[in-house]
Amino acid sequence: MLGVLIVALIPLIVCTVQLSVNEYTSKFNQNRWLNHADKRVYMVDDLLQKYKLIGKSNEEIIQLLGAPTETRSGEEGVTTLYYLGTERGFIPIDSEQLVFQFDRDGKVMEYTVHKD
């Protein structure tokens, strides 16, 4: 009887530990964002929920997220990209990027998470 109880508890314990680890890695943490670019994909949803990014200046975004992976200038303004890591999913093939579109005054107009 005790053996059955132990066998039944093992999956419950494993699931609890896995959920705890997932909760930790999915919370936005500036230090992890700056030092582990391949883990950003797990934090981006929390980042977008917690921070009001529309209207922030390019300098404010850089202060929060560090230097962008890529910057492009266009007619409408500047676009910056932050590499997030390999896409989430069962069979990850592509990568994900957080893309900011700035207006001519250097303020965030819109942002999207893009897969390529």
Quickly state the pLDDT bin for 90 (edges 50, 70, 90). confident
pLDDT for the residue numbered 26: 83
Give the C-alpha separation, 73 to 81, whole Å: 12
What CATH number is attached to the domain comprising 80?
3.30.1450.10
Buried/exposed code over 10-45 (b: 16+ C-beta within 10 A; e: otherwise): eeeeeeeeeeeeeeeeeebeeebbeeeeeebbbbbe
Mean pLDDT throughout 8-15?
51
Q: Is the pLDDT of residue 95 over 70?
A: yes
Q: Is the pLDDT of residue 102 over 90?
A: yes
- Identify the domain containing residue 60 by its residue range: 2-115
pLDDT for the residue numbered 1: 67
Strand runs (DSSP E) across 16-87, as ranges? 70-73, 78-86
47 neighbors 72 (Cβ within 8 angstroms): no
Point out which residues pair with 85 in neighbouring strands.
Answer: 96
Count structural domains, the chain.
1
